[in-house]
């Protein structure tokens, strides 16, 4: 089974669940997703970025954590589902977070212009993982960093019961989308394991790629760099 996805279906699914997305996210994860996002940003705590691009930003939770950590940086929150971005607008206040409607596979940025690219729970939804990784590499400055936060396929039977039965059932009732949380389960199962994602990042050009599994391997953070001299 391929993990790669049909963009039109994905876009309309996220537009349809946007209003309930934040609630369900925090509810299903017992708010652990907030900790995963903080860890993601802390992985680049020693940097002083000027431009951060949060791809597949959704309702912009990660974009806002970046902006708190780096208040002087401009954070571009890019997503192809407008309703997801609209759902997060009230979080922005006067922060330097700028939502834009765009495709993660065709970024509206010149080569070598971005200090940090992040993608949280979005890379699994791309039509082509490798194309996405090459596109992130293209826009990063030499010395820039890619952060990928994503679920990892999990064989734990309890977790599979939770994500394969409980989440789709509650997701269906609350979001009114019959398939969205089934899709989540299927797409995580079909996604490459952490070691393979690391290899794919290296194949796209990233160096010193490392990953850290979190919360019993439910999610993993991959960090890769674009070499300063190439
Ligand atoms: C599961 S949500 C994650 C949102 C957010 N990053 C978070 O951590 O909550 C996945 C997001 O990816 C977006 N997405 C999927 N494919 C995309 C693409 N090709 N270009 C831009 N956004 C995309 C969807 O619209 C959706 O908002």
- What are the structural domains, with CATH classification, of the chain? 7-225 (3.40.50.150)
- Regarding predicted confidence, which is higher, 13 or 97? 97
Helices of type H across the chain: 7-28, 32-42, 61-69, 82-88, 129-139, 157-161, 167-175, 180-190, 194-203
| pLDDT tier, 196 (very low <50, low <70, confident <90, very high otherwise) | very high
Which atom of ligand 1 lies closest to the CA of 132?
A: 19
Per-residue confidence (pLDDT) for residue 25, from 0 to 100: 85
Question: Mean pLDDT, to the nearest integer, of 109-117?
Answer: 98
CA distance 227 to 123: 22
Residue 121 predicted with pLDDT over 50: yes
Average pLDDT over residues 91-105: 97
What are the distances in angstroms from CA 69 to CA 26, 42, 52, 62?
21, 8, 12, 11
Ligand 1 pocket test: which of 122, 151, 184 has the largest number of ligand atoms within 8 Å of its C-beta? 122
Write down the pLDDT at residue 107: 98
Please give the distance, rounded to the nearest whole angstrom, from the Cα atom of residue 79 to the centre of ligand 1. 6
Q: pLDDT at position 3, please?
A: 59
Reply yes or no on whether the pLDDT at 206 is more than 50. yes
Ligand 1 center to 226 CA (angstroms): 23
Nearest CA to ligand 1 atom 4: 58
- Residue 1: per-residue pLDDT: 46
Characterize 179-206 residue by residue with b for buried, 16 or more Cβ atoms within 10 angstroms of its Cβ, and e for exposed.
ebbbbbbbbbbebbebeebbebbeebbb
Is the whole model's pTM more than 0.75, yes or no?
Answer: yes
Q: Which residues does a 6 A CB cutoff place in the pocket of ligand 1?
A: 7, 10-11, 14, 25, 56-58, 61-62, 79-81, 84, 103-105, 120-122, 125-126
Cα torsion angle, 124, 206, 103, 5, sign: negative
In this predicted structure, the answer to whether residue 189 has a pLDDT above a threshold of 90 is: no
Longest dimension (CA), the chain: 52
Q: How confident is the model at residue 11 (pLDDT cuts 50, 70, 90)?
A: very high
Residue bearing the CA closest to ligand 1, atom 27:
58
d(C-alpha 86, C-alpha 208), whole Å:
36
Question: What distance lies between CA 1 and its chain's CA centroid?
Answer: 21
Q: In what order do the strands lie in the sheet with 97-101?
A: 97-101, 74-79, 51-55, 114-120, 140-151, 219-225, 207-214
In contact, 224 and 209? CB cutoff 8 Å: yes
Residue 4 pLDDT more than 70? no
- Read off the pLDDT of residues 40-49 as tens digits, 9 standing for 90 and up: 999 999 999 9
- Taking the centre of ligand 1 as the mean of its atom positions, its distance from the CA of residue 65, in whole angstroms, is 17
Residue 72 CA to ligand 1 centre (angstroms): 25
pLDDT surpasses 70 at 230: no
How many Cα atoms are found within 13 Å in the side-chain-facing hemisphere of 152?
23
Q: What is the mean pLDDT of the chain?
A: 92
Q: What are the tens digits of pLDDT across the range 134-187?
A: 999 999 999 999 999 999 988 787 777 777 777 877 878 777 777 777 778 888
Q: Tell me which of 39-53, 105-119, 177-191 is least confident.
A: 177-191
Does 185 or 81 have the greater pLDDT score? Answer: 81
């Amino acid at each position: 089974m391929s993990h790669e996805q049909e963009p039109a279906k994905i876009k309309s699914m996220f537009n349809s669940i946007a209003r309930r997305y934040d609630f369900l996210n925090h509810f299903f994860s017992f708010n652990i997703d907030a900790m995963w996002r903080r860890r993601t940003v802390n992985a680049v705590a020693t940097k002083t970025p000027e431009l951060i691009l949060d791809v597949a930003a959704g309702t912009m939770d990660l974009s806002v954590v970046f902006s708190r950590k780096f208040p002087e940086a401009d954070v571009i929150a890019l997503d192809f589902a407008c309703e997801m971005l609209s759902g997060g607008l009230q979080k922005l206040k006067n922060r330097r977070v700028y939502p834009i409607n765009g495709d993660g596979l065709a970024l509206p940025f010149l080569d070598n212009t971005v200090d940090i690219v992040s993608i949280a729970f979005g890379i699994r939804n791309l039509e082509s993982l490798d194309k996405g990784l090459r596109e992130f590499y293209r826009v990063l400055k030499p010395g820039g960093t890619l952060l990928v936060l994503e679920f990892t396929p999990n064989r734990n039977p309890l977790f599979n019961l939770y994500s394969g039965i409980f989440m789709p059932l509650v997701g269906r009732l609350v979001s009114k989308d019959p398939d969205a949380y089934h899709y989540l389960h299927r797409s995580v199962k079909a996604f490459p394991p952490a070691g393979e994602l690391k290899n794919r990042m290296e194949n796209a050009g990233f160096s010193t790629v490392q990953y850290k599994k979190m919360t019993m391997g439910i999610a993993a953070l991959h960090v890769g760099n674009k070499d300063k001299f190439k």
